Amino acid sequence: MFRRRLFGFATLALLRPDAWALPSPTGPVLLTVSGRLRQAGAAASFDMAMLERLPQAHIHTHTPWYAQARRFSGPLLREVIAAAGGQLLPGGTLRARALNDYAVEIPANDALRYDIVLARLMDDKPMPVRDKGPLFIVYPFDGHRELRNAVYYSRCAWQLKSIEVL
């Protein structure tokens, strides 16, 4: 149900978080991470290539938005925050914002406890904006019965554009 692989700059970051700096995006910026980061007052910007170089996770799960279970692939939410220079602290909060300005607060404990995927692929294909893309926060609903309710469904921001570490 869950698999991942390590490579590229993310591997170095996991071994020595102070040993590298996040490269600058070369393509269109899809995600901005701001708030409590290692460099105070800074924000981290990610293009699709940068997200692809992070360790990739895969979950196959049912959601309320699709009739059948789908395969979602992308980096784990906690690894995106780490790559941006953020730290998830128990009791902390993440504020996710979508392209349509939908905003939701996600407890940091969720990202620490569950393998939440920042999906960039659905069924191994990029997601267009009209189908919840290009980025979609997806919880592993099928692996955890307690996640199958409106509270957790509401935390699945699609068309994600930014995350603030509070």
CATH of the domain at 106: 3.90.420.10
Per-residue pLDDT reduced to its tens digit, 93-132: 999 999 999 999 999 999 999 999 999 999 999 999 999 9
> Which strand ranges, in their side-by-side order, compose the sheet holding 125-126?
3-5, 56-61, 70-74, 121-122, 125-126
Parent domain of 50:
3-20+31-165
Residue 28 makes CB contacts below 8 A (sequence gap 6+) with: 47, 48
| Token code pair at residue 121 | 């692929």
Percent of the chain surpassing pLDDT 70: 88
In a domain, 130, yes or no: yes
Query: DSSP 3-state assignment of 8?
Result: helix
In a domain, 126, yes or no: yes
Residue 5 pLDDT class (50, 70, 90 cuts): very low
In a domain, 160, yes or no: yes
In a domain, 145, yes or no: yes
Q: How many domains does the chain have?
A: 1
In a domain, 25, yes or no: no
CB atoms within 10 A of CB 31: 23
In a domain, 8, yes or no: yes
**Global pTM value:** 0.86
For residue 10, the model assigns a pLDDT of: 43
| Token code pair at residue 36 | 């409590």
| Token code pair at residue 117 | 């995927």
In a domain, 127, yes or no: yes
In a domain, 134, yes or no: yes
Tell me the pairing of strands 160-165 and 93-98.
antiparallel
Percent of the chain surpassing pLDDT 90: 83
